[in-house]
């Protein structure tokens, strides 16, 4: 017996064996059962999904000796002749080779004759969209009013090319692509019939490559079993057909996700040396990133992925976000389009692989806008809530002198604690290290008694007559300020650090309220390590008021509630970086502490709101009216 390809050997012979087209099968069977037989049918759909097979089964059902019946017997003379293609009353015409109007005229002449032995004379015209416009026009009248024994069955893969005048005269059935699971089942049956051992992964690859066409799946199956030698594996398919292979693509994508562009390019060179075409490599790489995108979106269906979900690299899935995978797919699709016009396709692929290696740093427009809005909100909140104090803590306001300890002569210059917004005190040797800040300390009159127990019971501090203090007093008197400011010892301030000592000034580990401060170098190391991964987080940590040690716990203090909440959200990452820099297991706590000046300001505002008719409120009202008059350059009308 001569060899018969699997597609012909496994061609459906009845409606029950026509898989993947349940709607078409149900409708045709019900029509035959009820005797509602149309004079023209139009079967449309992709290639290899059963259009021609359905037309032959319908012809059998119409001319079967037990018919018309939805279940042709398959053993009568008419059924056998139709299956063999030798029936006189079933005429199959290739529309691609019989396109002229003369061919249609022959059909018009033939329909006048009754069927020779069957009940109906059936014309099956395949690829009907290839007919010319004149041929379609010649068919119109015949299709609209044919003899009662004539049935036309048209099949096409491009329904949009069939004129509407033809479509309106036919019952139209749209055939669908066959699911991968169904194709896989049919392939397993075919392998079992041939007594071939086949891996499920190999058959799944064939089913996926068929893209919904069962005939294509059978064709690929016939090709691969020729070299399978009785045992079909995915490895054999990849080696014999010149494919990159899932494992190598998986390794390549993992290297790209980790930013190892050098190793990825070397692996690509090895793949090219095996004889894989550039286009085939791009197709497989694109398909792999598509599967990663499905996995990130929670889709784990093997028929969509082509493989089971556990075979994909968890490293690549963890390293890449959905937006980054979408960007990779965009680059690869553009690469495939550019290969046609490139001087060397390999150069194009290497360029894209280099870009994919840096993909983990990619931010989409939406993510970039989110970060910009978060930074803007943070800055706006800090400016509004802090009253501009944060920008003044590290230096004096314009027109006011800042204080530095350690002059060229080795003498100490100390300025008194300025009110909020006037300046700060810095102690250091000019190396950029922040020393002692007392900008948040409150003004106290000269004769104001000191609270009991303050400064640890020490006597009131002496007034320093240094050159820096005299200069500050002169500047204050020049502005006409009547207040006198006392300089208190640094120990009584709000945990801002130890007082700088005169004579051989050294700044070591600063302390606040008995707690050691984290060294500035370690603090900067933590912030720097976070900059590349979390820019917003690192910039927020730079605004921390203090980094205090309390045993094995590092307390990060903020004066801004928003900043404290922002760092608290990423506390595990901050803890990890602190442990890496410090070199030991520690715990990190984020704390929000409002300054005493902010509390007094809030209490003052509440007291003013409680007495709206006070003289202070009236004075402010007059000030606002005067400002409005100056701005608008008008006159006040009482």
DSSP 404-416: EE--TTS----PP
Burial of 305 per CB tally in 10 Å (0-12, 13-18, 19+): buried
pLDDT at 366: 83
Asked if residue 38 belongs to a domain, the reply is yes
Which DSSP symbol is given to 484? -
Asked if residue 370 belongs to a domain, the reply is no
- Residue 186 has φ and ψ, to the nearest 5°, of -65, -35
| Contact partners, residue 528, CB within 8 Å, separation at least 6 | 538
Provide the number of structural domains found in the chain. Answer: 6
Distance, in Å, from the CA atom of 353 to the CA atom of 269, rounded to the nearest integer, reads 12
pLDDT at 509: 43
Distance, in Å, from the CA atom of 81 to the CA atom of 401, rounded to the nearest integer, reads 109
Question: Hey, is 617 helix, strand or coil?
Answer: helix
Distance, in Å, from the CA atom of 379 to the CA atom of 386, rounded to the nearest integer, reads 10
Question: Hey, is 566 helix, strand or coil?
Answer: helix
CATH of the domain at 281: 1.20.272.10
Please check whether residues 421 and 476 belong to one and the same domain: yes
Asked if residue 457 belongs to a domain, the reply is no
Q: Which residue has the tokens 């001087």?
A: 343
Q: Please, are residues 178 and 213 in contact by the beta-carbon 8 Å criterion?
A: yes
Q: Are strands 231-232 and 197-198 parallel, antiparallel or unpaired?
A: parallel
pLDDT at 388: 43
Which of 127, 157, 174 terminates a domain? The answer is: 174
Asked if residue 387 belongs to a domain, the reply is no
Please check whether residues 534 and 614 belong to one and the same domain: no
Please check whether residues 431 and 577 belong to one and the same domain: no
Give CA 202 to chain center in angstroms: 31
Please check whether residues 529 and 546 belong to one and the same domain: yes
Please check whether residues 601 and 518 belong to one and the same domain: no
Please check whether residues 48 and 15 belong to one and the same domain: yes
CATH of the domain at 160: 3.40.50.300
Q: What is the 3-state secondary structure (H, E, C) of 206-275?
A: HHHHCCCCHHHHHHHHHHHCCCCCCEECHHHHHHHCCCCCHHHHHHHHHHHHCCCHHHHHHHHHHHHHCC
pLDDT at 439: 38
Distance, in Å, from the CA atom of 296 to the CA atom of 322, rounded to the nearest integer, reads 6
| Contact partners, residue 83, CB within 8 Å, separation at least 6 | 13, 56, 60, 74
Asked if residue 590 belongs to a domain, the reply is yes
* Per-residue exposure over 244-262, b if at least 16 CB sit within 10 Å of its own CB, e if not: bbbebbbbbbbbbbbeebe
Q: Please, are residues 591 and 553 in contact by the beta-carbon 8 Å criterion?
A: no
pLDDT averaged per 10 residues in sequence order, the chain, 638 residues: 82 90 92 91 93 92 88 88 88 86 87 87 92 88 89 93 91 92 92 89 88 91 87 84 82 92 91 88 92 91 82 89 92 92 91 91 84 83 53 39 37 39 38 38 40 39 39 41 37 38 36 65 86 81 87 88 86 88 88 69 54 51 69 65
Asked if residue 367 belongs to a domain, the reply is no
Asked if residue 628 belongs to a domain, the reply is yes
Please check whether residues 539 and 624 belong to one and the same domain: no
Distance, in Å, from the CA atom of 231 to the CA atom of 236, rounded to the nearest integer, reads 9
pLDDT at 583: 86
Q: Please, are residues 512 and 435 in contact by the beta-carbon 8 Å criterion?
A: no
pLDDT at 334: 94
Please check whether residues 273 and 410 belong to one and the same domain: no
Please check whether residues 346 and 317 belong to one and the same domain: yes
Please check whether residues 291 and 345 belong to one and the same domain: yes
Asked if residue 322 belongs to a domain, the reply is yes
Please check whether residues 568 and 602 belong to one and the same domain: no
DSSP string for 115-155: PSSSS-EEEEEESGGGS-HHHHHHHHHHHHS--TTEEEEEE
Question: Hey, is 532 helix, strand or coil?
Answer: coil
Quick one: CA torsion of 29, 34, 40, 43, rounded to 10 degrees? -20
Please check whether residues 421 and 297 belong to one and the same domain: no
Which of 154, 174, 194 terminates a domain? The answer is: 174
Whether the predicted model's global pTM rises above the 0.85 cut = no
Instruction: Give the domain extent around 548.
Output: 512-594
Structure tokens at 198: 């086949």
CATH of the domain at 192: 1.10.8.60
């Amino acid at each position: 017996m001569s060899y018969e390809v699997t597609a012909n050997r496994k061609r459906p012979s009845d409606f029950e064996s026509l898989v993947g087209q349940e709607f078409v099968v149900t409708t045709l069977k019900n029509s035959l059962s009820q005797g509602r037989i149309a004079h023209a049918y139009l079967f449309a759909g992709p290639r290899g999904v059963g259009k021609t097979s359905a037309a032959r089964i319908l012809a059998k059902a119409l001319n079967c000796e037990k018919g018309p019946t939805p279940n042709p017997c398959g053993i009568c003379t008419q059924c056998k002749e139709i299956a063999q293609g030798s029936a006189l009353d079933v005429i199959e015409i290739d529309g691609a080779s019989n396109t002229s109007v003369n061919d249609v005229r022959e059909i018009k002449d033939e329909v006048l004759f009754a069927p020779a032995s069957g009940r109906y004379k059936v014309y099956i015209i395949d690829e009907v969209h290839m007919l010319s416009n004149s041929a379609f026009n010649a068919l119109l009248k015949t299709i609209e009013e044919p003899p009662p024994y004539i049935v036309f069955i048209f099949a096409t893969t491009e329904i949009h090319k069939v004129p509407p005048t033809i479509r309106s005269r036919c019952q139209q059935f749209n055939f669908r692509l066959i699911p991968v699971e169904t194709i896989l089942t049919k392939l397993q049956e075919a392998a079992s019939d041939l007594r071939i051992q086949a891996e499920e992964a190999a058959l799944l690859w064939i089913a996926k490559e068929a893209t919904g066409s069962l005939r294509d799946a059978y064709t690929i199956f016939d090709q691969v079993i020729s070299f399978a030698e009785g045992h079909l594996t995915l490895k054999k398919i990849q080696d014999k057909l010149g494919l990159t292979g899932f494992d190598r693509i998986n390794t390549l994508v993992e290297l790209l996700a980790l930013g190892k562009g050098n190793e990825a390019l070397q692996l690509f060179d090895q793949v090219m040396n095996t004889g894989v075409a550039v286009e085939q490599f791009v197709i497989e790489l694109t398909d792999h990133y598509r599967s990663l995108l499905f996995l990130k979106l929670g889709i784990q269906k093997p028929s969509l992925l082509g493989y089971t979900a556990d075979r994909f690299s968890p490293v690549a899935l963890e390293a890449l976000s959905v937006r980054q995978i979408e960007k990779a797919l965009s680059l690869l699709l553009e690469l495939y389009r550019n290969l046609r016009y490139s001087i060397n396709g390999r150069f194009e692929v290497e360029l894209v692989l280099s870009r994919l290696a840096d993909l983990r740093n990619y931010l989409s427009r939406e993510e970039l806008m989110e970060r910009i809005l978060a930074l803007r909100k943070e800055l706006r909140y800090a400016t509004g809530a802090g009253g501009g104090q944060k920008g003044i803590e590290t230096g004096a306001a314009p027109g006011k002198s800042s204080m530095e300890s350690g002059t060229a002569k080795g003498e100490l210059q100390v300025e008194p604690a300025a009110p909020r917004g006037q300046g700060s005190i810095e102690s250091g040797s000019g190396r950029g290290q922040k020393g002692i800040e007392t900008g948040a300390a409150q003004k106290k009159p000269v004769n104001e008694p000191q609270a009991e127990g303050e400064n640890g019971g020490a006597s009131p501090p002496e007034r320093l007559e240094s050159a820096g203090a005299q200069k500050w007093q002169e500047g204050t008197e020049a502005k006409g300020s009547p207040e006198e400011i006392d300089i208190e010892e640094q120990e009584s301030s709000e945990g801002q650090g130890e007082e700088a000592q005169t004579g051989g000034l050294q700044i070591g580990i600063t302390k606040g309220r008995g707690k050691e401060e984290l060294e500035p170098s370690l603090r900067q190391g933590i912030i720097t390590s976070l900059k590349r991964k979390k820019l917003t987080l690192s910039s927020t940590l730079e605004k921390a008021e203090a980094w205090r040690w309390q045993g094995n716990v590092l307390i990060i203090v903020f004066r801004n509630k928003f900043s404290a909440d922002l760092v608290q959200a990423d506390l595990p990452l901050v803890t990890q970086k602190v442990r890496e820099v410090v070199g030991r297991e520690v715990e990190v706590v984020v704390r929000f502490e409002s300054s005493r000046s902010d509390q007094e300001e809030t209490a003052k505002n509440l007291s003013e709101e409680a007495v709206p008719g006070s003289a202070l409120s009236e004075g402010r009202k007059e000030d606002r009216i005067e400002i409005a008059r100056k701005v608008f350059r008008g006159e006040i009308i009482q």
